[in-house]
Each structure stands twice: as C-alpha cells, then as structure tokens.
Amino acid sequence: MSKSCDVSKPNSYHVIIIGGGPAAVSAAIYTHRFDFKTLIIGQEYGGAISRTYLIENYPGFFDVSGFDLMDAFQKHYEHFNIPYIFETVTKIEKEAEGKFVVTASGGEKYESCAVIVATGGKYRKLNIPGEEEFHGRGVSYCATCDGPFFRDKTIIVVGGSDSAAVEALFLSKFGKNVYIVYRRDKIRSEPINTQRVNENEKIEIITNTTLKRIIGKDKVEAVEFHDGTIFPTDAVFIEIGEIPQSDLVKDLGVNLNEKGEILVDKFAQTNVPGIFAAGDVTDIREKQVITAAAQAVSAAYSVRDYIGNL
C-alpha cells in the first residue's frame, strides 16, 4: 500500500467510484478486496439495467430481471460494508499534490487518490414537439416503470435495437396492441428476440418511419409520422439509446470521442493519471452488463497499480 495515499482524514478514501450500476459495484467489490478504502457515490442504485425487463445473457442467471440482478449485486457490496452515498456528483477537481476532490450534491466534499467514473448514460430523446410536454402522461423511457399503466391500450415503441424489442415484448403483456416504429427497413435485435417479436400477435413493426410530433390534450392521443400520417396511440415508449454522462470529466482534460464517450485503453485508464472509467460511459463497443463489470475489474486493477506507485 502506498504511504503517500493518506486516508486517515475524514472523508478521505483511496478510491471514489462514481455511479450506481454494474460497473460501479463491480469496481467497488474489487477495490475493497485490494484493501482500499472505497466510497461509491451515485444518484440512484442499479443504473439503467435495473429497469430492464429481461436479461438472458449474464452467466449464472439464465432468466433474470435487471432489478433482481442488481439486487444480487447490492447484497454483494453490502456484505463488505462498502459505503454508498445516494447523491449526484457535481464536480471533480484535481489538487496540486495529485489527489482529487469530489463534491456531492449535498455540498459535502470527499478526497481520494483515484477516481473511477462509471456514470453510464442517460436516455436519448427524440427532441420532437410533444415529447417534453407529455413526459409522464403517455411518454416514457422505461417500460418496466410505466408499462402496467397502459393495460389494454395502444402502445408505440420507438427504436430498433435489441432493447427496443425486449421493451415491446414486455409491453405486450399489458397493451392491446404494440407497434415498433423504426427509421430503417428492419429492426436489429438479437435473433431470438426478433423471432419472439415476429411470433407475438400483439406486436407489429412499422419500418422506414420516424415520429414528427406527439399529439394530445391532457395526455398522449396520437403521433404524427414524418409523412404526415396521424396514428392514434395511448403511449409512446422511447428506446433509442443513451447519451454518455461524461460531463464531469471534461474540465479535467479527459479525452472524449465524438459521441462524448470517455476514451480508455484496455486497462480502463484515461489520459489523465488517477482517473479511470468503466461501463457505458466509455467507448467500449459492447454496452452489456457483463462487459461493464469486466471493464470495471480492469479499472480496479489499474487503480491498484496506480496507487501502489504513488
């Protein structure tokens, strides 16, 4: 253990991990095992994956909801008594002596020798008229949160990814009809989910189409497609990907790509010594729970090497 990384002061840690999803928790478990004083700060626990209806590709969990999987993660980190502060990080500053000061939304400041950024992404929006106005009144970004409110209703899912297909399958349990609206000629979900969508009598795919606006009075009543067609619906679930939450590291000079993702090497290191990143906020190609967890482990090992050399 490096003697130059003094954690004897209050609010002082070897490593602070920012985020609450699989990457954050996985990193914390490993840094704790390396005997590092670890703190997790995250606005919510579980991240976007906790709102996912079905996960079938995480080893050891053949068929599990995102909520249940993250519940298992939570039991793991709580077993080690790793502290978790449910707040938003508003600023990361680097001090002259190389340590970092992390400010939380409650105003408290925390000091560490290393920081792992695992902030994931936030919902990407369509940015069309009616989207903001009807958010919470028929417009949603979370099927597991809001799907049950639309029993026997007509539902539109916007998007063509595997996540959009899974959302549509979940919503078909409640809705009378579910329409997947996608801008290309075919959805690009995993073959098993494409098959399930095609076999589901409640689901219909509308391709080569985009939404121009969302229409209603007190709630969603219809959408207008790009060709001017008015299509009645009770709900619009938007599943078009995420925007990486990387704003925190911009002032530190951390390199980002054109998408705003944090650039890391194969060891989850950024270009700024002491700042590491893992999960969907990085430029990793596969945005999956298992890759987020694996990359977080690399980050934890890199933190071990970095602090050991201080």
Q: Which of 5, 113, 146, 234 is catalytic?
A: 146
pLDDT of residue 2: 60
pLDDT of residue 3: 63
pLDDT of residue 98: 81
Q: Which of 35, 145, 251, 305 is catalytic?
A: 145
pLDDT of residue 189: 95
- Give CATH for domain 139-238: 3.50.50.60
Closest by CA to 160, choosing from 140, 134, 184, 138, is 184
Instruction: Region of 47 please: left (phi>0), alpha (psi -120 to 50) or beta.
Output: left
Q: Is 113 a catalytic residue?
A: no
Instruction: In whole angstroms, give the CA distance from residue 180 to residue 219.
Output: 20
Report the predicted TM-score, pTM, of the whole model to 2 decimal places.
0.87
pLDDT of residue 1: 54
- The DSSP 8-state label assigned to residue 198 in this structure reads H
* Domain 12-123+242-308: which CATH number of 3.40.50.10860, 3.30.70.2520, 3.50.50.60, 3.40.630.10: 3.50.50.60
Q: Is 146 a catalytic residue?
A: yes
pLDDT of residue 219: 97
Please give the average pLDDT of every successive group of 10 residues along the chain, which has 310 residues.
81 97 97 97 87 87 91 94 96 90 97 97 95 96 92 98 96 98 96 97 98 97 98 98 95 96 98 97 94 97 94
Distances (CA, A) of 270 to 94, 130, 216, 263: 14, 39, 46, 6
Instruction: In whole angstroms, give the CA distance from residue 15 to residue 42.
Output: 14
Q: Is 145 a catalytic residue?
A: yes
- The segment(s) of the chain belonging to CATH 3.50.50.60 are 12-123+242-308, 139-238
